[in-house]
Amino acid sequence: MAMAHGAAQGGGKRRRRARRGGAINEINMTPFIDVVLVLLIVFMVAAPMMTVGVPLDLPQSKASPLNSDTKPVTLSIRQTGQVFLGEDELTDDTIVPRLTDTAKSGFEERVFVRGDKRVDYGRVAQVMAIVTGGGFKKVALVTEPDQK
């Protein structure tokens, strides 16, 4: 009876029991960490596979890409492989002498190579090698922006 009497007067401590099925106010981080670690492993395994390219037999050239902001001299290459400086057709032997005559800043002149999209890639690389082999260091390809 003493226990009942003490509890009724408020002299004893009451314990609250946690309700079963009630809301939990803590976030369990273990499943989150597991998912992150699995994703990390997947990306570590998949990343090297995404960088592998298609094996190609590329033409060889000694040309090196360089950039400049001056007004360039433009060489055009038709689908048939013919090379033009303005309206004048050039042979491979006359490309460098004509560029040297046309270039205002000498070998520092910017040379743009415009190739038809159906021209052989090897021919474009050959013309660029002739130009860079002649002493011109600033040679670049010209493309049109995608219309999509």
Taking the CA atoms of 13, 17, 23 and 29 in sequence, report the sign of the dihedral they define. positive
Give the pLDDT confidence score for residue 59 in this predicted structure. 41
More confident residue, 42 or 72: 42
The set of residues, in sequence order, having a beta carbon less than 8 Å from that of 86 and lying 6+ positions away, is 74
Please, what is the average pLDDT of the chain?
74
The set of residues, in sequence order, having a beta carbon less than 8 Å from that of 62 and lying 6+ positions away, is 129, 132, 133
Tens digits of residue pLDDT in 125-142: 899 999 999 888 888 887
| Percentage of the chain modeled with pLDDT above 90 | 13
Q: What is the dotted CATH code of the domain comprising 73-142?
A: 3.30.420.270
CA distances from 133 to 47, 78, 85, 88, 107 (A): 39, 21, 18, 21, 11
- Place 63 in a pLDDT band, splitting at 50, 70 and 90: very low
Tens digits of residue pLDDT in 28-37: 888 999 999 9
Tell me: pLDDT of 56 over 50.
no
Amino acid identity of 88?
D
- Place 101 in a pLDDT band, splitting at 50, 70 and 90: confident
- Region 84-99 average pLDDT: 87
- Region 9-26 average pLDDT: 64
pTM of the model: 0.51
